[in-house]
Structure 1
Amino acid sequence: MNLIKLKASKNDEGRTLFKFLVKNLNNVPVSAIEKVFRLKDVKVNGIKTNNKSYSVVNNDAIWIYGLEDVKKNVTYQTKIDFKVIYEDKNILVINKPINVSMHGFNDSLDNQVLSYLNYKQTDSFIPSSIGRLDRVTSGLIIYAKTYSALVQLNNKINLHEKYYLLKSDFPWPKKEVIFYARKNKKTNDMELFDTKPGLLMHTIFFQDKNKKYALIKSGKKHQIRLTLSHLGYPIYGDKKYGGLHDKRVYLHSYKIVFHNLENELDYLNDTQFVCDIKW
């Protein structure tokens, strides 16, 4: 019977055994991985198991029986169209250009980052973004370079300060707004309401030295764009949400400040990453 031998790394630690196999055996259907658990054709440190929820530990020896042709080699070679703002062993901070999608295309930002990092799969982790930016939005975005950094930054994403620079006709020196987004079943569009239920959209808009900003307190898809459209002050160039045609959508991820990070990331607390723009 064919035998596959894997050894868990630090980047695998904390994943379930099932997810570990799905990520590592990237040429195997999920149904086949389910089957090896049903048949108890998995060993962890010499002991047979069908516990898919087992939490993998660094240096675990994991053997799988009865599978062949389990890995496909994937290479990431694409033009890099972003500027690096900061990088260390745990994170990569970049300035995303407009008209670049985060996922799903050969020239997506994900693939550009993997190409920049010269990524080759050695464990179950793939460097991944913390949150996302719309294709039409530019500016700061963070990529985690380790699994532990990814988990912590995602778990504490709403504790960080995230500022956006924008162009809009909103008149307030400062205004804090809370809405709840629900999908219209007929149009499939998101609509905002003053009361629950729905996805919380909490945003603070303010002006400083003739520039306009948004500080998001909850990160939801199209949050700033939806909110300003609902209030009657759509972002310049945002035709999807009622803005007049312009050369771009004037929304830019301007500043991120980290808070409440622990352990290997505590050195980043109160660190500000800024990426200004002239338009």
Structure 2
Amino acid sequence: MITIGEEEADQRIDNFLLRICKGVPKSHVYRVLRSGEVRVNKGRIDQTYRLKAGDVVRVPPVRVAETQKAAVPGAEFTILHEDAHLLVIDKPAGVAVHGGSGVSYGVIEQLRASRPQAKFLELVHRLDRETSGILLLAKKRSALTNLHEQIREGTIDKRYLTLVHGEWKNARQHIKLPLFKYNTPDGERRVRVQSDGMASHTVFNLVRKYGAFALLEAELKTGRTHQIRVHLSASGYPIAGDDKYGDFGLNRALQKPQGSRIALKRMFLHAHRITFLHPESGEPLTLKAELPRECDAFLRSLQAEAADERVS
């Protein structure tokens, strides 16, 4: 019997059970829900029921999978902001935000492992594994609900820095292309431009040109999966180092140093700034994550390469 507190309130019963029944297959959790074995205040409920503070939930005995997952190593990441409601980190490239799809654990699991005393810690949004930068996590359910509402209303201002290949022309350019999600035959999630896809809008601001490359700031007006990557690729400006939608021949060349230019061994996409209303105070909060060292060093090498070309 579990009594629901303020932090568990307002979440669906199925999501609550999936969180507390670690190691239990999702199908089994839904089976016990449908069978009526889960009771709230001694009454039957369906999987869409939203918990209220003070509810008493009966969770039936459930058998945990015999093959336990390997222990998740705790980890901390560079903290950009932390208070009683929020944790904002600078996620490195190459680290998944959560486990699944061949990844046994990600940022959220590692943070929970390193903070066993935390009663509540949830991702507010996601970043691609290959993308670095600002990642928001909620330390209270009220904060999570508030920030999700801001995301739905489009009031959160998220900015990314990215380096593309090609002759970028405009100082400010809107790209509106509908995006369709699908899975490859091996189960990998992909996105393509398709007329019946979801409406998607990105605004790109030119920061600086580096020879055949351009550094852009991207403003997300919608938040679709792989939106920046697909909008740029479909417009003829692949992101340097993008192994899903980029120019694969270019990526191979960039992985090797050439003259003054150093090697680039990651995708050049970084969530560098975010502005939102603090979920408790309602005051605007702007946070920034500096460009990672490897990206900054690559830009400097492009600058040096351009200088060498001018001299020669």
TM range (shorter): 0.7 to 0.9
Structure 1 equivalent of residue 281 of structure 2: 267
Question: Deviation at 1:109?
Answer: 1.4
Question: Deviation at 1:138?
Answer: 0.6
Counterpart among 126, 138, 144 of residue 144 in structure 1 = 138
Question: Deviation at 1:231?
Answer: 1.0
Structure 1 equivalent of residue 228 of structure 2: 224
Does the 8 Å contact 2:85/2:280 carry over to 1? Answer: no
Question: Deviation at 1:119?
Answer: 4.9
Does the 8 Å contact 1:41/1:48 carry over to 2? Answer: no
TM-score (norm 1): 0.79
Structure 2 equivalent of residue 182 of structure 1: 180
Amino acid at match of 2:96: S
Does the 8 Å contact 2:191/2:225 carry over to 1? Answer: no
Change in CA separation of 1:218 and 1:112 when aligned onto 2, cut-off 3 Å: same
Instruction: Give unpaired runs (5+ residues) of structure 2.
Output: 210-214, 255-263, 298-312
Amino acid at match of 2:205: F
Q: Deviations over 1:158-213 (max 9, x none)?
A: 320000011124221001110002357898853225xx421222100002466520
**Mapped partners of 1:59, 1:276: distance in 2:** 44
**Mapped partners of 2:238, 2:38: distance in 1:** 55
Find runs of 4+ consecutive structure 1 residues off by over 6 angstroms: 70-75, 184-188
**Mapped partners of 2:227, 2:204: distance in 1:** 12
Does the 8 Å contact 1:192/1:230 carry over to 2? Answer: yes
**Mapped partners of 2:97, 2:45: distance in 1:** 36
**Mapped partners of 2:182, 2:104: distance in 1:** 32
Structure 1 equivalent of residue 307 of structure 2: none
Question: Deviation at 1:215?
Answer: 0.4
SS at match of 2:281: helix
- 1:255 paired with 2:254, answer no
- 1:11 paired with 2:25, answer no
**Mapped partners of 2:129, 2:289: distance in 1:** 17
Question: Structure 1 stretch 88-97 or stretch 181-190: which is displaced more?
Answer: 181-190
- 1:155 paired with 2:155, answer no
Structure 2 equivalent of residue 77 of structure 1: 73
Change in CA separation of 1:226 and 1:42 when aligned onto 2, cut-off 3 Å: closer
**Mapped partners of 1:10, 1:267: distance in 2:** 19
Instruction: Give unpaired runs (5+ residues) of structure 1.
Output: none
Counterpart among 35, 57, 62 of residue 62 in structure 1 = 57
Question: Deviation at 1:225?
Answer: 1.0
1:30-179 equivalences under 5 Å are 40-45=36-41, 47-64=42-59, 67=61, 76-80=72-76, 82-104=77-99, 105-106=103-104, 108-119=106-117, 127-157=121-151, 158-168=154-164, 169=166, 170-179=168-177
Percent pairwise identity? 27
Does the 8 Å contact 1:44/1:61 carry over to 2? Answer: yes
Structure 2 equivalent of residue 26 of structure 1: 22
Does the 8 Å contact 1:90/1:144 carry over to 2? Answer: yes
**Mapped partners of 1:185, 1:33: distance in 2:** 26
Amino acid at match of 2:175: V
Does the 8 Å contact 2:160/2:218 carry over to 1? Answer: yes
**Mapped partners of 2:62, 2:45: distance in 1:** 19
**Mapped partners of 1:30, 1:235: distance in 2:** 37
**Mapped partners of 2:50, 2:181: distance in 1:** 36
Question: Deviation at 1:255?
Answer: 0.3
SS at match of 1:167: strand
Change in CA separation of 1:41 and 1:108 when aligned onto 2, cut-off 3 Å: closer
- 1:215 paired with 2:216, answer no
Change in CA separation of 1:52 and 1:186 when aligned onto 2, cut-off 3 Å: closer
**Mapped partners of 1:128, 1:203: distance in 2:** 26
